[in-house]
Amino acid sequence: MSNPFLKQVFNKDKTFRPKRKFEPGTQRFELHKKAQASLNAGLDLRLAVQLPPGEDLHDWVAVHVVDFFNRVNLIYGTISDGCTEQSCPVMSGGPKYEYRWQDEHKFRKPTALSAPRYMDLLMDWIEAQINNEDLFPTNVGTPFPKNFLPTVRKILSRLFRVFVHVYIHHFDRIAQMGSEAHVNTCYKHFYYFVREFSLIDTKELEPLTTGAPCHARLISSCV
C-alpha cells in the first residue's frame, strides 16, 4: 500500500478531514516511518502489523489509529458525493445492520441517522479523541491513560463501520474508479491490525463476512 499509488487513485482534495500528522523528530514520527517502510517494501501485512521488538504497544497502536483515521477519511472522501441524505437515509451495512450514533453530548441514546450525518459526527468525534493530549499524549515519557485502549477499541470499531458502509453500499463506485485493489489493501491492513491486538470483537466483523460474495472473498483472503 504505497502512498504514490494511493495518491494516483484518490483525490486528496476530497479528503473528508485534514490529515493528522506526526511531528518530525518524535518517537511517534519514527514509528510511523517504520510502519510505512514495511508497507512500502511489500512486507506481508500479517508481519507488518506486528509490534517491532523493543517498541511500546501503546505508541504502536496510537500511530496506527491515526493512520487508519487518515486512510478511512481518504476512502470515504472519494465516494462522499454519492453518499447523501437521499441515497443513504440510514447509516447501515445492508438490510441486517443499522448503526446508530451515541455520544456523551447531544445523542445520549443510540439515534438513527443518515449515513452522511453519522460520518460527520464520527469523524468529528475521532478527531477530538486523537487530538486530546490526555488521551493521545505526544510528549516522550508521558504515560498513556488507563482508558486509552478501551477508547481505541471504540474508535476502531466505529471506523470499521465506514468500511462496511462503503463496501456494501458504494462498492460499485469504488470499482468504477479502479480503486478496488487499493481499498482492499487498506481494509486488509486494518483487519490484520485489529486481529493482531484483539481490538475489535469478532462479532463486530460479521457484516463483511456475511455480505455479498465479493466481501466474503475479501475476508476469506484475510484469514
Is residue 126 within 8 Å of 155, Cβ to Cβ? yes
End-to-end CA distance of the chain: give it in Å, rounded. Answer: 19
Residues 209 and 192: their CA atoms lie apart, in Å, by: 15
Taking alpha carbons only, the member of 36, 80, 73 closest to residue 155 is 73
CA distances from 185 to 1, 139, 149, 170, 182 (A): 6, 32, 24, 17, 5
Q: Give the span between the Cα atoms of 183 and 80, in whole angstroms.
A: 15
Does residue 215 have a known ligand-binding role?
Answer: no
Instruction: Judge whether 83 is annotated as a binding position.
Output: yes
- 58 labeled part of a ligand binding site: no
Neighbouring residues of 180: CB distance < 8 A, sequence distance ≥ 6? 171, 174
Binding-site residues, in ranges, read 83, 88, 165, 170
Binding-site residues for Zn(2+), in ranges, read 83, 88, 165, 170
